[in-house]
Amino acid sequence: MKITFRLIISLIVGTAFVVFLFSAIQTRIEEKKLDEDLELRAEVLAKTFKEALEPFLEQTESPVRIKKFIEKFKGRTRLVGIEVYLKDTGFITLPEELAEKKVFEQELSETVEKGKALRRNGQWNAKSIALETMPLEKDGVIAGALGLIHDRTYIVRRINEFRKRTALTFSILALILSLTTLVLIRWSITGPIAKIADWARKARLGETRQIEPAFREKGEIQRLAFEIMHMASSLKAARIDLHEKSQVSDSQDSGWSKEKLKNYLQGKLEGLPLFVISNREPYIHRKRPEGQIECIIPASGVVTALDPVLQATGGMWIAHGSGSADRETVNPEGKILVPPGNPAYLLKRVWLTEEEEKGFYYGFSNEGLWPLCHIAHTRPIFNIQDWEQYQKVNRRFADALLEEAGANSPLILVQDYHFALVPKMIKEMRPDAKIALFWHVPWPNPEAFGICPWQEEILEGMLGSDVIGFHTQFHCNNFLDTVDRFLESRIDWTVFGVNRGGKISYIRPFPISIAFPQNEKATENQNLQEIKKKFRLEGKKIGVGVDRIDYTKGLLERFRSIERTLEKYPQYRGHLIFIELGAPSRILIPGYQHHLQEVEELVSKINARFGQGEYQPILFLKDHHSQSTIHDFYQLADFCLVSSLHDGMNLVAKEFVAAREDEDGVLILSRFTGASQELRSALQINPYDIERVADTVYQALTMLPEERQERMKRMRTLVKEYNVYRWAAEQITELIKAF
């Protein structure tokens, strides 16, 4: 009742204000229109009188003649008075009382003095009048002034009538509008609100167990009521599940570690086998020119995140064998225990033909889906041959998993955009499988994703998963909007789920992270001295970047920013060295070949411009660098520059923070990365704004030690607490809960 009363009062006050304001505006417009009409007539009449009176000024008896002339107009309806003021003889008026009361004497004197007409509204003799004055000339000299007094009472009367009529009309309309609005509010809002309140009270008292059926299949407000009550049910379920959630957040004092994750998942998995499917393998065996075989860890966010998980839990990683010595190092079944020297899980390699790799990996995945998902202004390319190879390879990996699945329900972590079809393929053969798909790159909005010719097949394949993870909630929302746009399904926003054909896929944000080093104490490293000596870094300010050589990483923008820094702050010429550890990537794609050429040309240009003797401002070290080498460069750097144009997360930022055991160094981070949502203490940049990035580099180089340490401490605390083991635990827990 109170809300209805408040609505009534609000409507009355609001309507009264609108009526008053509108009436005032309309009457003012009408009054102005009538006054303008009167002024026009008065001006014409005054000019006529002026032309008639000025010849009398030449005559000796001009006052007498003028008085006789103006007496002819006595009694005109709206001309209530005429005044003539002559410098020589004074006032001549009609009627006489004008002279007695000296009405408008000041206005006529002012007209003579200034020599120009005046218009004034006022009151005289209980009437509203309008005065129009005009100077009279004799031999080109101002000799007097003429004043015509018009009755404007009719304007006042018409305005009052108009105001009353307008107010009455709009009052009636406002009353009808108010009554109609009140009825609609009562029917559409306050009624459902009352029902919601009643249902909530019953739910609180335990008098009801389900949502009232009356709210189903109704209008928008009723459906909103249904969703609100559904949310209340979800919150109730969340409270019931609080104990299980607390297991994921278990013991904040100790934090998550490999051993803790292993112990936690052993209880959760209950003997279920754990599988990871990705295109990139965690360990690559390749032949060196001398004929020796070396094992390297590729520069990959997937590998950085998931290798520690499988080392903690065991299981199997299924990936494409791409190394030149991969076939020589596996058993006949294509398997090998990894990591070398400390085996913890099985790596199964899937072999692809050159045609398959070209169509699946270089074609559809990286010339189509990759630029589609990244806003980096590169046009995606789609063709039917690549799509066919993509389908074929997805089937190959699904079959490889099914061969290893065994009798128990497998727990499967499918990684990234390369295998969007795999979840559905596995689910069709093994409905008991528990599948989580993690999408490591951004998810575009529905309009952008609509470019893909096989949008429905991609979405249907992904929805074979029980849980689909993205780095940020924003990407989750984009995905749900995309499904809502292109597929017949029901989106349940209360639980962020997609119900399609009775199967629910839950969409969740899981910000990926890294394995934070256990030893937090800074140690002297002989390698650092060797690196300084090798690259002549002693006494220099050092910046570092670590990336795959990819157009989304903003390498061109990064190097132009370093160039601009040297232009704006010449004191750093010869003293600032930026080291880029670039891992060659997708070199068979023409776009990547062209990008690499652009990068190398720009580096050469900058070095030629600012280099002096052995000094070069940019060291572009193009190779697949080991993790230990990268770690050493992180420790050497005064700042790390991450200038991605668009990134799902970007683990380089977190790796740099974790490597700084000395709690020093500055992270300069693109705000177009997922990591920027967490690492707020970094210096955040727009990589396209070269000028400001250069200023930010200068800020990093001149930052006080106390500020550097405070920023780094905050970021290290966050990365340590939200590490990859916690990420894995939350993701697997969510997957198990989905059943």
Residue pair 464/426 in contact (Cβ under 8 Å)? The answer is yes
The mean pLDDT value for 564-568 works out to 97
Question: With bands split at pLDDT 50, 70 and 90, how would you rate the model's confidence at 238?
Answer: very low
- Amino acid 241: pLDDT: 43
pLDDT of 202 reads 59
Instruction: Give the ranges where 569-704 is alpha helix by DSSP (H).
Output: 590-610, 627-636, 651-659, 690-702
When pLDDT is cut at 50, 70 and 90, the band that residue 223 belongs to is: low
Handedness of CA 208, 209, 212, 213 (dihedral sign): negative
Single pTM value for the model: 0.65
What pLDDT does residue 219 have? 55
pLDDT of residue 60: 63
276 burial level (CB within 10 Å; 0-12, 13-18, 19+)? buried
Q: What is the pLDDT of residues 636-674, one digit of tens each?
A: 999 999 999 999 999 999 999 999 999 999 999 999 999
**Lowest-confidence segment of 8-22, 226-240, 562-576 by average pLDDT:** 226-240
Residue 456, pLDDT score: 96
Buried b (16+ CB within 10 A) or exposed e, 652-666: bbbbbbbbbeebebb
Q: What is the pLDDT averaged over residues 616-633?
A: 92
Residues of the chain with CATH 3.40.50.2000: 274-509, 526-722
Q: What is the rounded average pLDDT for all residues in the chain?
A: 84
The pLDDT of residue 220: 56
> What pLDDT sits at residue 66?
79
pLDDT at 98: 63
pLDDT tops 50 at residue 717: yes
Local confidence band at 383 (pLDDT 50, 70, 90 cut-offs):
very high
State the pLDDT at residue 89: 76
Listed in sequence order, the residues at least 6 apart from 122 whose beta carbon sits closer than 8 Å to its beta carbon are 128, 129, 131
Q: Examine the pLDDT at 236 and tell me if it is beyond 70.
A: no
The pLDDT tens digits for 429-448 are: 999 999 999 999 999 999 99
Residues of the chain with CATH 3.30.450.20: 2-157
Average pLDDT for residues 716-730, to the nearest whole number?
A: 90
- Determine whether domain 526-722 maps to CATH 3.40.50.2000: yes
User: Higher confidence at residue 430 or residue 624?
Assistant: 430
For position 2, what pLDDT does the model report?
A: 61
Q: Tokens at residue 127, please?
A: 């009437």
243 has a pLDDT exceeding 50: no
Helix (H) or strand (E) holding 41: helix 2-53
With pLDDT > 70 as the criterion, what percentage of the chain qualifies? 86
User: CA-to-CA distance for 575 and 587, rounded, in angstroms?
Assistant: 33
Res 558: pLDDT: 97
Task: Quote the pLDDT of residue 309.
Answer: 81
| Mean pLDDT, range 142-151, rounded to an integer | 86
* Predicted local distance difference test score (pLDDT) of residue 595: 93
pLDDT of residue 226 exceeding 70: no
Residue type (1 letter), 233: S
Look at residue 82 in the predicted model and tell me its pLDDT: 82
CATH H-level superfamily of 2-157: PAS domain (3.30.450.20)
Find the mean pLDDT for residues 379-399: 96
Lowest mean pLDDT among 51-65, 240-254, 561-575, 684-698: 240-254
Taking domain 274-509, whether its CATH number is 3.65.10.10 is answered by no
Poorest-confidence range of 217-231, 278-292, 555-569, 615-629? 217-231
Lowest-pLDDT choice from 170-184, 279-293, 464-478, 490-504 = 170-184
pLDDT of residue 1: 53
Please determine, for residue 253, whether its predicted confidence score (pLDDT) is greater than 60: no
Mean pLDDT of 172-192: 74
pLDDT over 70 at 229, yes or no: no
| pLDDT score of 212 more than 50 | no
Angle between helix 590-610 and 555-568 (nearest 10): 10
State residue 429's pLDDT score: 95
By C-alpha distance, which of 671, 57, 236, 572 is closest to 69?
A: 57
